[in-house]
Structures are given as C-alpha cells and as structure tokens.
Structure 1
Amino acid sequence: MALKYFHKPPGYYNCAQAIYKAFQEEFRITNDEINECSKYGNGKAKGGNCGAYHAALELLKDKPELLAEFTRRFQEKSEHLTCFDIKFNYSISCKNLVRLASDLLEELTPLSSNN
C-alpha cells in the first residue's frame, strides 16, 4: 500500500512518488523514475491533476481498458481530479487520495495483488 511511503522516512515521498514506489516491482519502475516523479506532487501534474491520480494514470497508460474505469472510480470518491479543486472544496485529504489511488490500482490490476 502506498501510504507506507507517503511523507514517511526514509524517502518522504510525495503523493505521486508514493504510488510509483508502492507499485515499483509490479510495474518495473526504476528509482530514477520515482525521483523524476517528484515534480508531479502539490498540484504540479499535467492539467493540475492530483499527483496520486496522475501517477496511477501513468502506470495504466498501456492498459486503456482500465483508464476510464480508474478515472470513474477515483472521481466518484474524490469528487474532483485537480489538486486545486480537491483542496478548495475540502472533498478528501491527500493521504486519503493516495490510499484511494493505491486501492483502485490493486483492485484493477491483477499483478498488484501482492501489494
């Protein structure tokens, strides 16, 4: 689960990095990719999207059949997709967004069942 990496030692990963780190083995993500992903935290992902959401979409980019379902479920719980809208409307905490993205990835991808 990604929460064990979110803002915790030793890496103090942001939302996007926590998702990448949690699924590192299953998706063959390198440490360099996790470090590079740091630029997507704090609303800096494409379109201002939530970093946890953005990271999950990146992991699913080769699985188009899952992208729409992931987005539907994520937005159903978060109400919004952009970091600004989520924070402005107090719809869900960053911690819970990391949990949500991680849980949805586990549900939708059979490879991640060990996480």
Structure 2
Amino acid sequence: MNTHHIVISIGSNYAAEINIPAAMRLLRGSYPTICFSEPIENDPIDFPYPSGRFTNLTAHFYSTEDREEVGRKLKGIELQLGRTYTKPFDGRVAIDIDLIAWNNTILKHVDYSRPYIQSGLQELRINIQTQPDMTKESRSETFFHNKPNNWNCAQAVQKGFQDLTGMTDEAIEDEYRPKGGGRAEGGLCGALYSANRILEAKGLQPVSQEFQALAGGITCRELKGELKYPCNNCVRLAEELVEQRLSESQPHD
C-alpha cells in the first residue's frame, strides 16, 4: 500500500479565530501526524467579493488514502465548520481547505505560488519538485511542433485556447510566429507571453509571477540555459496557469 505526501492550504476570512483552530483539531483527528505552519494574515488575493483579511496557513501529512478519499474528508471538514456552496455568495468563507500538492505533483499552481503558501512551505521545510503533471493531457502540447503547421511555443498555447479566443489559424500564424523561441518582448518565454495575452484579453492578471515560481525563470534564455527547462513543459505549465486563472474568475459556487 502506497503512502502519499500531501500538502494543503487552510484559509478563513470569517470568524477565523474560531474556525482555523477548529479545522486544525478536526484535521489532527483524521491525520494525527499532520504539521501546520504558523497562521498568516493577508489581504485577499484575486477574490472578487467584499472581504476582510484572510488568515492562511499551510499543512502537510502522510496518508495511504487515495486522492478522492482525502478530498472527501477535507470537504466534510469544511461543511462541518459551516462552509456553504449555495448562491448567492456573500464573500464570507468560514473555512477553505485546498489540496495543493500530492506527492511531487503540484495540483494548483496558482495557489502554490502564493506568498503565504511559499512562506508556509519554507517554515515546514517542504521542497516540492515543480514539474507540471505529465500524466494530464495538455491540449496546447499536442500542437507544439506538430505537422503540418509546426506551431512554436507561443502558437501552441494559442491553439490550446482557440475555442476561447476565437483566433483563426491565419491570425495565430501572423501574430504569434514571431513570438516563439524567446523572440517576445524582453526575451520572454513564448508560451508565457501567449498565456498572458489570453488572460489580459479577458481582463485578468498575467501569470508571470506564478510561472517564475514554478519554472525558475521567465525568459527563454534562462529557461533553456542554466535551468534546462524543456520547452514542452513551458507550454504545459502556461496552459495550466491560464486554466487556473480562468477558473478563479468564475462565480463562486
């Protein structure tokens, strides 16, 4: 039976002084070896509702349970502490518990790059390999260097979100052929450049900070050079970050 290393984040912006300790007690009841970082208060990040400050902390533990079972337990704790998933949502989050990493697979790249989670990981001395999940199918990667078009990294990401952007193949060829291979402004990775353009067109924040935290750099020269970060991983990571940013922008369930 396999033992899994699991990293979670815990947050609350409503009665946090009660809900955070309560969540910690319930989590210890299910996972006695769990370790927590110190709680951190911070302003809301990408939270489109009226809200006071959040209290956040990071935790990790080991379990032989599969991901679905762990997820059910975490959601059960949320419900027990008053988390609601009904609409309309008024911005109050009694408790939010998210799976951040499973073994060496980062499940939520945008969340993983948050300063309070990075601080918690450092405090707990957790080092997670930051490669994207190569078992997950990537639309964009299927287009990268594939014939007959031989799309570059910037074009591959645009192709992956073509249903969203509505760009034609001709437009992608004309606008993004000159942006691949480190030819975007400032030598930016073409996949990241393309991801940011997709998000900016939707009025959303770019993901350069998250990309750098996960890949180690943002320019093609540093990614291909000292970091030896494969181009197909850049394409895959850019797609995952766009998907997560788009998901965050959706109405709260």
Shift of 1:65: 4.1
The C-alpha deviation readout for 1:49-90, integer Å capped at 9, x for no partner, is: 0000001111112345432xx222211111111101111212
Separation of aligned partners in 1, 2:217 and 2:160: 23
Q: Among 159, 165, 185, which residue is 1:46 paired with?
A: 185
Residue 2 in 1 paired to residue 140 in 2? yes
Contact 2:157–2:239 (8 Å) recurs in 1:
yes
C-alpha distance in 1 between matches for 2:156 and 2:214: 19
Alignment of 1:25-104 (within 5 A): 25-36=163-174, 37-67=176-206, 70-104=207-241
Q: Could you give the per-residue CA deviations for residues 5-58 of structure 1, whole angstroms, max 9, x where no partner exists?
A: 001123211000000111111111122221021111111001100000001111
Gaps of at least 5 residues in structure 2 are: 1-138, 248-253
Deviates more, 1:82-91 or 1:56-65: 56-65
1:109 aligns with 2:220: no
What secondary structure sits across from 2:201 in the alignment?
Answer: coil
Partner of 2:48: none
TM-score w.r.t. length of structure 2: 0.41
Q: Percent identity?
A: 34
Is residue 79–residue 91 contact of structure 1 (8 Å, CA) maintained in 2? no
Q: TM-score, normalised by structure 1?
A: 0.85
| Separation in 1, partners of 2:185, 2:235 | 17
Higher strand share: 2
Matched residue SS, 1:81: coil
Q: Which has the higher contact order (CA 8 A, sep 6+)?
A: 1
Opposite residue 178 of structure 2, the aligned amino acid is K
Distance in 1, Cα, partners of 2:212 & 2:168: 28
Q: Which has the higher helix share?
A: 1
Moved more, 7-16 or 92-101: 7-16
- Structure 1 unaligned runs (5+)? 111-115
- Greater CA drift, 101-110 or 52-61: 101-110
CA contact (8 A) 1:19 1:102 kept: yes
How many angstroms apart in 2 are the aligned matches of 1:65 and 1:42? 25
- Size of the aligned set, in residue pairs, is 108
- RMSD over aligned Cα atoms: 1.4
Matched residue, 1:113: none
Q: Equivalent residue of 2:162, what SS?
A: coil
